[in-house]
Chains A and B, each alone.
Chain A
Amino acid sequence: MHVVIIGAGEVGTSIAGSLAQSHDVVVIDIDSERADQLKYELDVMTLAGDGTASSTLQQAGIEETDMVIASTDDDRTNLVACETAKTLASPFTIARVKSVEYLRTWEITEKAFGVDFMVCSDLLSAENIVRIVGLPAAIDVDPFAGGCVQMAEFEVMEGSPVAGQTVAEADRFESLTFAGVFRDGELILPRGDTLIEAGDRTVVIGSPESVQDFATDIAPETTPGAADEIVIIGGSEIGYHTARLLENRGLKPRLIERDPERARQLAEELPNTLVMEHDATDTEFLAREHVDEADIVVAALDSDEKNLLVSMLAKRIGTDRIVAVVDSGDYVSLFEEIGIDIAINPRQVTAEEITRFTHEGVAENVAVLEDDQAEVLELELTDSSDFIGRTIQDIAGDIDADLVIGAVTRNRELVTPRGDTVLEAGDHLIVFVESSFIDELTSMV
């Protein structure tokens, strides 16, 4: 495969490094010194120039290119580069953005800006933090339909309250669907009377809040509940999205931000978060607000030094778990060495997501489970789909396959699927299906 990467920063370099072994990679950077330097680090071709200019892209051989990855630090440069690449030829385009606004726009058609796959680094980092903080018991978590639906896979541990219950007993949440159970690596489609055993892996699909509630049922020890104290230090974009996603799960975090205007803005946008305006390095303040009794502290300030400082302070006053955002990839291991539980590097997370995508060719709206035995897919019903106007029960009876409709979203709102739910054009279905039936299913939609 011929790949063009625009931007030789940390993200671009990291992606280029992992692709260079098996693909032809051209890296474009506006800084000629950086481009020269990279030639000696990686076995790739480098080009100094503006990645948004058609002349540069033609020079990089855009006509023969299979994939363009725009990974500079500037959102607009990345979007324009993808659009330019699409205008000149027809490669598959991947853009890295920071702003969630662009991601939301792109999600409307999944084609906007000439981008075929978009990775939002701030949101992705926040999702990672929330997964670690909110669902430590989950093996896999994937968002669907712009985040209003989630798929999560859990292993039922010895001693879990759910072990020994039937599916009907365990599935007591309004907007949650029990999609599948894997036992000893074999898929079992759950019926109401299926008994859940310790060691089973269960796949559930539902609203983030119901998934969180289910996690509390399945692993009450490790899953934070309403009583647990989560403190986010720093109102950066990552801090904001972390708080927002935790709110979506029914948790009420606290967020400490020093700048009065930013604090006010965050407080307006986060109704269920207690925003406090203060310098988080003030130990007297941390003690007065009982941050020492917090179960989890997330350090999301805008510099690594400050994050290091507050993490160490939190550690010293006795916080249980600390997650820190680390902007510079070199420091990740350093942070973890000095006792910070998890260090998240947004660039690394982004590079990993893009690399994973290029390897697996699997979009964000598909999750592959248990060695490709089953998949969870998001399907949009077009006007000509066979499913329109029919009830879920009716469709399920028609298809001779192991298939569970886990969730339906209509106009970006979750509709809990029931047997008598009638499907409409424009609905998004989040479907759990055995891999062998995927082709049959997609042909019907």
Chain B
Amino acid sequence: MAVVRVDWRASLDLTGQILLYLAGPLCFPLLVALYYGESTVPFLAAIAVTVVLGWSLRALPGEPGELGPREAFLAVALIWFLVAAVGAVPFFVAGVGIIAHPVDAMFEAMSGLTTTGATVLRDFSIHSRSILMWRQVLQWLGGLGILVLATAILSELGVGGAQLMETETQTRNVSKLTPRIAATARLIWGLYIGLTLLAVAVYYGLHLLNLAPNMGFYNAVAHALTSVSTAGFSPEPNSIGAFSPAIQWAVIPFMLVGSTSFVLLYFAINGEPMRLLRNEEFHFYLGVVATGSVIVGVALAVDPTVPFDTEATIRHAVFNVASIVTTTGYASADFELWSPAAKHVLFLCMFIGGMVGSTTCSIKSLRWLVALKAFKRNLFTSIHPEAVRPVRVSGNPVEEETIRDIYAYLLLSLVIFTLLTVFIVVDGTRAPTEVTEFEALGAAASTFLNIGPAFGDAGPYGTYATFPRSTRAVMIGLMWVGRIEIIPVLVLFTKAFWTS
């Protein structure tokens, strides 16, 4: 038997450590449960599970070694899966509605942690406020990436932290704001927490000004947790559509900021706004949002079935396009009822994503921008084969190796997306209602790219509960794979990873 070359003990040790820390965030819904006089059992059970699991992973025999690149891959994949599994415990233990089933509890938790925002809930009113709040907290934890958080807290990770952040986001060379990676992670988290608190203040402030009757303090906190994290869960079945236009306008900037590079935001706040404003990826990302909004707006304006109102048309177009491009997944209206033109534009928007180094998911603007520029360059070099023309983003040359990685990533994403679509259609023949091709395309993109709502039954006001449970089980895996950018999971299935 070949010798295992991965120091799996180091990966498990880190995983155990993070699971122990997970007891902290679990106290938040516990307090909510105490406040509203609801059952605390689901959360106490989850705390017990995470502490026992975490402790046993750390207590395994053997001495954990250094965290190298391979250990980081294993740790990232394990941590995201196990944190979601612990996150599912409260849903399972509470035993209310569809999420009493372990697969659906796991679906809801994975959808939460990966900031997808696809739900299997049908009737929101049967669930306790603390359980609904736990969904929101899971999304907030997953927003910036668990390992960025871990690096911020566990300063002993040191260089290993940079390794973990790079693995989690599949980028080379994490931009360090400070010489120490832990300090950088803390600055980024500080910014994230600050923006979340600002969102609470704005949402609740609008309520106090009588501009948002439904946005009480509970809802203000719940939605603040899932807007900057571009996650998309809402304790309301009608998402942001349940709130006043003022709230809908207020949510848009938070989604957009959440999908902007946090490093560049940090510079912008500290007196260097030009680094953000001159960034080409930023232009591309905002350009996509603007173009999508105009097309959807026109589609809505000419749609005879939608009553025309200038403010509402603009609001719904901008809100829903921004929500999809940033991969949030909120909806201000049931876009399932819109014309095919509008729906198909939203479908295309799913593939873009915000900026690298933000809370966004999907393919991300930078990859598209580099791929498009590299393609344009190829057209040029087909005329001048000897020309050496580096692809530049914001004036900085992009390495050829990075371009190849991006091509491979795009191809891999599209292959997985296609396979998933076919699977959903085929598996859907067993469902009580037929799954159409467009529904399957939408649901595949929406789960794999971590967006949330899709079309048909899985529309923004709908539920994924109508898909067969086997489809949902596969979706759990793909939300997981999609959120950690494919490679860390796939690499675990290669022989070279374990032995060479």
Interface residues of A (CB under 8 A from B): 256-257, 260, 263-264, 266-268, 271, 274-278, 285, 289
Which residue in A264, A285, A289 is a CB contact (below 8 Å) of B388? A264
Q: How far is the CA of A322 from the CA of B397 in the complex (A)?
A: 32
Contact (Cβ within 8 A) B386 A268 = no
Across the interface, do B386 and A276 meet the contact criterion of CB distance under 8 Å? yes
The answer to whether A268 touches B384, judged by C-beta atoms less than 8 angstroms apart, is no
Which residues in B have their C-beta under 8 angstroms from that of A267? Answer: 388-390, 397
A271-B392 Cα distance, complex, nearest whole Å: 9
Q: For residue A285, which residues in chain B have a CB less than 8 angstroms away from its CB? A: 386
* Chain B residue with the shortest CB-CB distance to A263: B388
* Further 7 A-B residue pairs, CB within 8 A, beyond A257-B388, A268-B397, A277-B387: A263-B388, A268-B390, A274-B384, A274-B387, A275-B387, A276-B388, A277-B386
Residues of B443-469 whose CB lies within 8 A of A: none
10 CB-based A-B contacts, threshold 8 Å: A256-B386, A257-B388, A263-B388, A267-B389, A267-B397, A268-B390, A268-B397, A271-B392, A276-B388, A289-B386
A370 to B384, CA, bound (A): 48
Residues of A within 8 A of B395 (CB): 271
Q: Which 9 A-B pairs have the closest CB atoms?
A: A268-B397, A276-B386, A278-B386, A267-B388, A275-B388, A263-B388, A277-B388, A268-B390, A267-B390
Residues of B within 8 A of A276 (CB): 384, 386-388
The residue in chain A whose Cβ has the minimal distance to the Cβ of B380 is A274
Query: Could you mark each residue 379-414 of chain B with 1 if its beta carbon is under 8 Å from any beta carbon of chain A, else 0?
Result: 000001011111010010100000000000000000
Alpha-carbon distance between A220 and B386 when the two chains are bound, in angstroms: 32
Chain A binding site: helix, strand, loop or mixed by DSSP?
mixed
| Contact B389–A274 (Cβ < 8 Å) | yes
Q: Which residues of B contact A266 (CB under 8 A)?
A: 388
- Return chain A residues, CB-CB under 8 Å to B397: 267-268
Smallest CB-CB separation from B392: which chain A residue? A271
Q: CA of A268 to CA of B392 in the docked complex: distance in angstroms?
A: 8
Give the nearest-CB partner of B395 in chain A: A271
- Please give the distance in Å from B216's CB to the nearest CB on chain A: 53
Bound Cα distance from A256 to B386, whole angstroms: 9
Complex Cα spacing A289 to B389, Å = 16
Smallest CB gap from A255: residue in B: B388
What's the minimum C-beta distance from A262 to chain B, rounded to whole angstroms?
Answer: 10
Docked CA distance A130–B395 (Å): 25
Which residues of chain A have C-beta atoms less than 8 A from B390's C-beta? 264, 267-268
| Best-buried of B387, B389, B397 by chain A (most CB within 10 Å) | B387
What CA separation (Å) do A397 and B386 show in the bound complex?
58
Distance in angstroms between the alpha carbons of A256 and B388 in the assembled complex: 10
Complex: A268 Cα to B388 Cα, angstroms = 9
Instruction: Report A-chain residues with C-beta under 8 Å of the C-beta of B389.
Output: 267, 274-275
CA distance A208 to B387 in the complex (A): 27
With a CB–CB cut-off of 8 A, which chain A residues contact B392? 271
The docked-state distance in angstroms from the alpha carbon of A256 to that of B387 is: 9
Cα distance A432–B137 in the bound complex, in angstroms: 69
Q: A278 — nearest CB in chain B belongs to which residue?
A: B386
- Write the nearest CB–CB distance from A271 to chain B, whole angstroms: 7
B397 — nearest CB in chain A belongs to which residue? A268
Give the docked Cα–Cα distance between A386 and B389 (Å). Answer: 50
Q: Which residues of B contact A260 (CB under 8 A)?
A: 388
Instruction: Identify the interface centre among B387, B388, B389: most chain A CB within 10 Å of its CB.
Output: B388
Min C-beta distance of B384 to chain A, whole Å: 7
Q: What are the residues of chain A within 8 A of B384 when measuring CB–CB?
A: 274, 276, 289
Contacts of A263 in B (CB 8 A): 388
Contacts of A275 in B (CB 8 A): 387-389
Q: From B384, B386, B397, name the one whose CB has the most chain A CB atoms within 10 angstroms.
A: B386
In the complex, the chain B residue whose C-beta lies closest to that of A275 is B388
Residues of B within 8 A of A264 (CB): 388, 390
How many Å lie between the Cα of A257 and that of B397 in the bound state?
18
A275 to B390, CA, bound (A): 10
CA distance A264 to B403 in the complex (A): 15
The CA-CA distance from A274 to B386 in the complex, in Å, is: 10
Compute how far the CA of A267 lies from the CA of B389 in the bound complex, rounded to whole angstroms.
Answer: 6
Q: How far is the CA of A52 from the CA of B177 in the complex (A)?
A: 42
CA distance A271 to B396 in the complex (A): 10
Give Cα distance in the complex from A264 to B390, angstroms: 7
Residue of B384, B390, B395 ringed by the most chain A CB atoms within 10 A: B390
With a CB–CB cut-off of 8 A, which chain B residues contact A278? 386
Look across to chain B and name the residue whose beta carbon is closest to the beta carbon of A266: B388
